[in-house]
Amino acid sequence: MTMLLDKLGRPMHDLRISVTDRCNFRCTYCMPKEIFGRDYAFMPKDQLLSFEEIERLAKIFVKLGVKKIRLTGGEPLLRKDLPHLIERLTKIDGLEDIGLTTNGVLLEKMANDLKTAGLKRINTSLDALDENLCKKINDSGVSSTHILKGIHKAKDLGLEIKVNMVVKKGLNEQEIVPMADYFMKHEIPLRYIEFMDVGSTNGWDFKNVITKKEIYTILSQQYRLEPINPSYIGEVAKRYRYQGSNAEVGFITSVSESFCSTCTRARLAADGKVYTCLFATNGFDLKEMIRNGVSDTELTETIKKIWGSRQDRYSDERTEETAKNRKKIEMSYIGG
Protein backbone atom coordinates (compact mmCIF):
# COMPACT_ATOMS: atom_id res chain seq x y z
CA MET A 1 0.00 0.00 0.00
CA THR A 2 1.31 3.45 -0.95
CA MET A 3 1.74 5.64 2.11
CA LEU A 4 -0.82 8.45 2.28
CA LEU A 5 0.98 11.79 2.71
CA ASP A 6 -0.24 15.36 3.11
CA LYS A 7 1.20 18.34 1.22
CA LEU A 8 4.03 18.63 3.76
CA GLY A 9 4.96 14.94 3.49
CA ARG A 10 3.35 13.89 6.80
CA PRO A 11 1.71 10.43 6.95
CA MET A 12 -1.62 9.75 8.66
CA HIS A 13 -0.82 7.36 11.52
CA ASP A 14 -3.13 8.49 14.34
CA LEU A 15 -6.88 9.02 14.59
CA ARG A 16 -8.58 10.82 17.47
CA ILE A 17 -12.28 9.93 17.68
CA SER A 18 -14.55 12.14 19.78
CA VAL A 19 -17.52 10.05 20.88
CA THR A 20 -19.48 12.86 22.59
CA ASP A 21 -19.39 16.64 22.98
CA ARG A 22 -20.73 16.40 26.54
CA CYS A 23 -18.58 16.66 29.66
CA ASN A 24 -19.27 16.53 33.40
CA PHE A 25 -16.53 19.11 34.09
CA ARG A 26 -16.55 22.83 33.37
CA CYS A 27 -12.81 23.46 33.36
CA THR A 28 -12.10 27.14 32.88
CA TYR A 29 -9.53 26.49 30.14
CA CYS A 30 -11.83 24.23 28.11
CA MET A 31 -15.58 24.45 28.83
CA PRO A 32 -16.12 27.52 31.04
CA LYS A 33 -19.48 27.47 32.82
CA GLU A 34 -20.43 30.94 31.61
CA ILE A 35 -20.46 29.57 28.04
CA PHE A 36 -21.39 25.91 28.61
CA GLY A 37 -24.13 26.51 31.17
CA ARG A 38 -27.21 24.50 32.10
CA ASP A 39 -29.06 25.65 29.00
CA TYR A 40 -26.22 24.89 26.56
CA ALA A 41 -27.47 22.84 23.61
CA PHE A 42 -25.32 19.75 23.15
CA MET A 43 -25.74 17.43 20.19
CA PRO A 44 -28.90 15.30 20.17
CA LYS A 45 -28.28 11.57 20.01
CA ASP A 46 -29.25 11.24 16.34
CA GLN A 47 -26.53 13.71 15.34
CA LEU A 48 -23.80 11.61 16.93
CA LEU A 49 -22.03 8.95 14.92
CA SER A 50 -23.38 5.54 15.87
CA PHE A 51 -20.95 2.82 16.96
CA GLU A 52 -21.53 1.12 13.59
CA GLU A 53 -20.61 4.33 11.75
CA ILE A 54 -17.53 4.87 13.92
CA GLU A 55 -16.38 1.30 13.31
CA ARG A 56 -16.93 1.62 9.56
CA LEU A 57 -14.89 4.82 9.35
CA ALA A 58 -12.19 3.47 11.65
CA LYS A 59 -11.69 0.46 9.36
CA ILE A 60 -11.24 2.79 6.38
CA PHE A 61 -8.78 5.01 8.25
CA VAL A 62 -6.76 1.96 9.30
CA LYS A 63 -6.60 0.74 5.71
CA LEU A 64 -5.23 4.19 4.81
CA GLY A 65 -2.39 3.93 7.32
CA VAL A 66 -3.75 4.71 10.78
CA LYS A 67 -2.07 2.54 13.43
CA LYS A 68 -3.34 4.17 16.61
CA ILE A 69 -6.80 5.31 17.71
CA ARG A 70 -7.54 7.44 20.76
CA LEU A 71 -11.10 7.91 22.02
CA THR A 72 -11.85 11.40 23.31
CA GLY A 73 -14.76 13.76 23.96
CA GLY A 74 -16.04 15.81 25.65
CA GLU A 75 -15.78 13.13 28.31
CA PRO A 76 -15.84 9.79 26.46
CA LEU A 77 -16.95 7.75 29.47
CA LEU A 78 -20.29 9.59 29.31
CA ARG A 79 -21.06 7.81 26.04
CA LYS A 80 -23.40 4.96 26.87
CA ASP A 81 -21.98 1.44 26.37
CA LEU A 82 -18.53 2.73 25.37
CA PRO A 83 -16.83 -0.60 26.22
CA HIS A 84 -18.88 -2.17 23.42
CA LEU A 85 -17.32 0.26 20.93
CA ILE A 86 -13.85 -0.46 22.27
CA GLU A 87 -14.44 -4.19 21.88
CA ARG A 88 -15.42 -3.67 18.24
CA LEU A 89 -12.47 -1.41 17.46
CA THR A 90 -9.90 -3.77 18.99
CA LYS A 91 -10.91 -6.38 16.40
CA ILE A 92 -9.98 -4.18 13.42
CA ASP A 93 -7.23 -5.86 11.43
CA GLY A 94 -4.13 -3.67 11.27
CA LEU A 95 -4.95 -1.45 14.25
CA GLU A 96 -2.00 -1.65 16.62
CA ASP A 97 -3.12 0.45 19.56
CA ILE A 98 -6.23 1.97 21.11
CA GLY A 99 -6.24 4.46 23.99
CA LEU A 100 -8.66 6.77 25.77
CA THR A 101 -8.46 10.23 27.35
CA THR A 102 -10.70 10.88 30.36
CA ASN A 103 -11.16 13.37 33.19
CA GLY A 104 -11.22 10.37 35.53
CA VAL A 105 -14.57 10.96 37.23
CA LEU A 106 -16.02 7.63 36.08
CA LEU A 107 -12.74 5.76 35.83
CA GLU A 108 -12.88 3.87 39.12
CA LYS A 109 -16.36 2.62 38.22
CA MET A 110 -15.56 1.70 34.62
CA ALA A 111 -11.89 0.65 34.63
CA ASN A 112 -12.63 -3.06 34.81
CA ASP A 113 -15.12 -2.96 31.92
CA LEU A 114 -12.67 -0.94 29.83
CA LYS A 115 -9.89 -3.46 30.47
CA THR A 116 -12.19 -6.39 29.68
CA ALA A 117 -13.21 -4.71 26.41
CA GLY A 118 -9.55 -4.66 25.31
CA LEU A 119 -8.44 -1.14 26.15
CA LYS A 120 -4.70 -0.91 26.80
CA ARG A 121 -3.95 2.73 27.58
CA ILE A 122 -5.59 5.62 29.42
CA ASN A 123 -4.63 9.28 29.76
CA THR A 124 -6.29 10.96 32.74
CA SER A 125 -6.48 14.71 33.25
CA LEU A 126 -5.58 16.06 36.69
CA ASP A 127 -4.46 19.66 37.12
CA ALA A 128 -3.87 19.81 40.90
CA LEU A 129 -3.50 17.56 43.91
CA ASP A 130 -4.78 20.27 46.23
CA GLU A 131 -8.46 19.45 46.82
CA ASN A 132 -9.82 22.99 46.76
CA LEU A 133 -7.79 24.00 43.72
CA CYS A 134 -8.81 20.86 41.84
CA LYS A 135 -12.47 21.64 42.50
CA LYS A 136 -11.94 25.26 41.45
CA ILE A 137 -10.36 24.25 38.15
CA ASN A 138 -12.95 21.65 37.16
CA ASP A 139 -15.70 23.91 38.53
CA SER A 140 -17.78 20.81 39.24
CA GLY A 141 -16.92 19.99 42.85
CA VAL A 142 -14.90 16.88 42.00
CA SER A 143 -11.92 16.26 44.28
CA SER A 144 -8.45 15.10 43.33
CA THR A 145 -8.93 12.16 45.73
CA HIS A 146 -11.83 10.90 43.62
CA ILE A 147 -9.79 11.11 40.41
CA LEU A 148 -6.74 9.48 42.02
CA LYS A 149 -8.85 6.48 43.05
CA GLY A 150 -9.68 5.92 39.39
CA ILE A 151 -6.06 6.32 38.34
CA HIS A 152 -4.85 3.74 40.85
CA LYS A 153 -7.69 1.36 40.05
CA ALA A 154 -6.70 1.43 36.37
CA LYS A 155 -3.02 0.94 37.21
CA ASP A 156 -3.80 -1.98 39.53
CA LEU A 157 -5.75 -3.64 36.71
CA GLY A 158 -2.69 -3.47 34.48
CA LEU A 159 -3.81 -0.63 32.23
CA GLU A 160 -1.03 1.65 31.04
CA ILE A 161 -1.89 5.04 32.52
CA LYS A 162 -0.52 8.55 32.10
CA VAL A 163 -1.61 11.79 33.74
CA ASN A 164 -2.02 15.09 31.89
CA MET A 165 -1.69 18.41 33.73
CA VAL A 166 -2.53 21.68 31.98
CA VAL A 167 -0.41 24.40 33.57
CA LYS A 168 -1.76 27.94 33.59
CA LYS A 169 0.08 30.88 35.11
CA GLY A 170 -1.69 32.35 38.10
CA LEU A 171 -3.79 29.24 38.54
CA ASN A 172 -1.86 26.09 39.33
CA GLU A 173 1.89 26.54 38.80
CA GLN A 174 2.39 25.88 42.53
CA GLU A 175 1.27 22.30 41.83
CA ILE A 176 4.11 21.53 39.39
CA VAL A 177 6.44 20.03 42.00
CA PRO A 178 3.80 18.27 44.17
CA MET A 179 2.39 16.60 41.06
CA ALA A 180 5.86 15.51 39.95
CA ASP A 181 6.70 14.15 43.39
CA TYR A 182 3.46 12.18 43.74
CA PHE A 183 3.50 10.53 40.33
CA MET A 184 7.24 9.87 40.41
CA LYS A 185 6.76 7.91 43.65
CA HIS A 186 3.95 5.91 42.06
CA GLU A 187 5.88 5.48 38.79
CA ILE A 188 3.05 6.95 36.72
CA PRO A 189 4.14 9.12 33.76
CA LEU A 190 3.11 12.77 34.10
CA ARG A 191 2.67 15.13 31.14
CA TYR A 192 2.75 18.90 31.61
CA ILE A 193 0.69 20.62 28.89
CA GLU A 194 1.21 24.26 28.00
CA PHE A 195 -2.01 26.28 28.20
CA MET A 196 -3.17 26.37 24.56
CA ASP A 197 -5.44 28.61 22.50
CA VAL A 198 -7.82 25.81 21.56
CA GLY A 199 -11.27 27.05 20.63
CA SER A 200 -12.54 30.57 21.21
CA THR A 201 -13.99 30.50 24.74
CA ASN A 202 -11.12 29.89 27.15
CA GLY A 203 -9.76 33.45 27.32
CA TRP A 204 -6.31 32.42 26.11
CA ASP A 205 -3.48 34.92 26.42
CA PHE A 206 0.22 34.17 26.00
CA LYS A 207 0.93 35.90 29.32
CA ASN A 208 -0.90 32.96 30.98
CA VAL A 209 1.39 30.35 29.40
CA ILE A 210 4.07 28.67 31.47
CA THR A 211 6.44 27.20 28.93
CA LYS A 212 8.18 23.86 28.95
CA LYS A 213 11.48 25.67 29.59
CA GLU A 214 10.04 27.33 32.70
CA ILE A 215 8.54 24.08 34.02
CA TYR A 216 11.78 22.21 33.31
CA THR A 217 13.73 24.84 35.26
CA ILE A 218 11.38 24.46 38.24
CA LEU A 219 11.69 20.67 38.17
CA SER A 220 15.48 20.79 37.77
CA GLN A 221 15.76 22.49 41.14
CA GLN A 222 14.30 19.34 42.71
CA TYR A 223 15.25 16.48 40.38
CA ARG A 224 17.88 15.44 37.88
CA LEU A 225 16.19 14.71 34.54
CA GLU A 226 17.56 12.55 31.72
CA PRO A 227 16.13 12.95 28.19
CA ILE A 228 14.45 9.90 26.61
CA ASN A 229 14.49 9.37 22.86
CA PRO A 230 11.10 9.46 21.11
CA SER A 231 9.54 6.00 20.88
CA TYR A 232 7.96 6.68 17.48
CA ILE A 233 7.83 9.31 14.72
CA GLY A 234 5.37 12.05 15.58
CA GLU A 235 5.44 11.48 19.35
CA VAL A 236 4.07 14.67 20.87
CA ALA A 237 5.59 14.59 24.35
CA LYS A 238 9.19 15.52 24.98
CA ARG A 239 10.07 12.88 27.56
CA TYR A 240 12.53 12.71 30.46
CA ARG A 241 13.32 10.18 33.16
CA TYR A 242 13.96 11.05 36.79
CA GLN A 243 17.52 9.91 37.47
CA GLY A 244 17.53 6.82 39.66
CA SER A 245 13.87 6.11 39.00
CA ASN A 246 11.76 4.22 36.49
CA ALA A 247 9.27 7.09 36.40
CA GLU A 248 9.17 9.64 33.61
CA VAL A 249 7.83 13.09 32.94
CA GLY A 250 6.99 14.76 29.66
CA PHE A 251 6.02 18.09 28.14
CA ILE A 252 3.42 18.95 25.49
CA THR A 253 4.83 22.12 23.93
CA SER A 254 2.37 23.26 21.28
CA VAL A 255 2.91 26.92 22.20
CA SER A 256 6.65 27.26 22.83
CA GLU A 257 8.10 24.45 20.67
CA SER A 258 5.82 23.54 17.77
CA PHE A 259 5.67 19.93 16.60
CA CYS A 260 3.62 20.59 13.45
CA SER A 261 6.32 19.17 11.20
CA THR A 262 5.79 15.66 12.61
CA CYS A 263 2.03 15.78 13.26
CA THR A 264 0.38 12.59 11.99
CA ARG A 265 -3.08 13.04 13.59
CA ALA A 266 -6.52 13.23 12.02
CA ARG A 267 -9.54 14.01 14.18
CA LEU A 268 -13.08 12.68 13.84
CA ALA A 269 -15.63 14.74 15.77
CA ALA A 270 -18.68 13.24 17.45
CA ASP A 271 -20.97 14.43 14.63
CA GLY A 272 -18.86 12.82 11.92
CA LYS A 273 -16.84 15.79 10.70
CA VAL A 274 -13.16 15.10 10.11
CA TYR A 275 -10.53 17.72 10.96
CA THR A 276 -6.85 17.79 10.09
CA CYS A 277 -5.70 20.03 12.96
CA LEU A 278 -6.57 20.62 16.62
CA PHE A 279 -6.78 24.32 15.79
CA ALA A 280 -8.98 23.86 12.72
CA THR A 281 -11.72 26.25 11.65
CA ASN A 282 -13.66 23.84 9.42
CA GLY A 283 -14.22 20.12 9.01
CA PHE A 284 -15.54 17.81 6.31
CA ASP A 285 -18.80 15.98 6.97
CA LEU A 286 -18.37 12.22 6.57
CA LYS A 287 -21.58 11.41 8.44
CA GLU A 288 -23.68 13.08 5.75
CA MET A 289 -21.96 10.95 3.14
CA ILE A 290 -22.57 7.76 5.14
CA ARG A 291 -26.24 8.52 5.71
CA ASN A 292 -26.66 9.34 2.03
CA GLY A 293 -25.58 5.79 1.25
CA VAL A 294 -22.13 6.23 -0.26
CA SER A 295 -19.82 3.25 -0.65
CA ASP A 296 -16.63 2.53 1.27
CA THR A 297 -14.73 3.26 -1.94
CA GLU A 298 -16.21 6.77 -2.11
CA LEU A 299 -15.46 7.37 1.59
CA THR A 300 -11.91 6.15 1.07
CA GLU A 301 -11.30 8.47 -1.87
CA THR A 302 -12.77 11.41 0.06
CA ILE A 303 -10.52 10.82 3.07
CA LYS A 304 -7.50 10.47 0.78
CA LYS A 305 -8.32 13.84 -0.80
CA ILE A 306 -8.81 15.50 2.59
CA TRP A 307 -5.46 14.28 3.91
CA GLY A 308 -3.69 14.84 0.59
CA SER A 309 -4.77 18.50 0.67
CA ARG A 310 -3.68 19.01 4.28
CA GLN A 311 -1.13 21.72 4.93
CA ASP A 312 -2.01 22.77 8.51
CA ARG A 313 0.82 24.13 10.63
CA TYR A 314 -1.02 26.45 12.98
CA SER A 315 1.41 26.27 15.89
CA ASP A 316 4.27 27.21 13.55
CA GLU A 317 2.32 30.23 12.35
CA ARG A 318 0.63 31.29 15.63
CA THR A 319 0.77 34.96 16.55
CA GLU A 320 -0.96 36.89 19.33
CA GLU A 321 -3.36 38.24 16.71
CA THR A 322 -4.28 34.91 15.11
CA ALA A 323 -4.60 33.25 18.51
CA LYS A 324 -7.15 35.80 19.67
CA ASN A 325 -9.02 36.55 16.45
CA ARG A 326 -9.15 33.28 14.51
CA LYS A 327 -12.32 31.34 15.27
CA LYS A 328 -11.41 27.73 16.06
CA ILE A 329 -13.33 24.57 16.88
CA GLU A 330 -13.77 24.02 20.64
CA MET A 331 -11.60 21.28 22.15
CA SER A 332 -14.69 19.84 23.85
CA TYR A 333 -16.10 19.20 20.37
CA ILE A 334 -13.05 18.05 18.45
CA GLY A 335 -11.25 16.17 21.23
CA GLY A 336 -7.82 16.86 22.74
Q: What is the reported pLDDT for 14?
A: 96
CATH classification of the domain holding 69: 3.20.20.70
**Residue 92 maps to a domain:** yes
pLDDT score of 133 = 97
Can you say whether the dihedral through the CA atoms of 21, 25, 31, 33 is positive or negative? Answer: positive
pTM greater than 0.85: yes
What pLDDT score does 58 carry?
A: 98
Is 242 domain-assigned?
yes
pLDDT in tens, the chain (336 residues): 568 999 999 999 999 999 999 999 888 778 888 888 878 888 899 999 999 999 999 999 999 999 999 999 999 999 999 999 999 999 999 999 999 999 999 999 999 999 999 999 999 999 999 999 999 999 999 999 999 999 999 999 999 999 999 999 999 999 999 999 999 999 999 999 998 766 555 566 778 889 999 999 999 999 999 999 887 666 778 999 999 888 999 998 878 778 788 899 999 999 999 999 888 888 999 999 999 999 999 999 999 999 999 998 877 676 665 656 666 666 666 776
Whether residue 269 lies inside any domain: the answer is yes
Instruction: Provide the pLDDT for residue 260.
Output: 86
In a domain, 37, yes or no: yes
Q: Is residue 2 part of a domain?
A: no
Residue 4 lies in a domain: no
| pLDDT score of 204 | 62
Domain count for the chain: 1
Domain with 126, as residue range(s), is 14-334
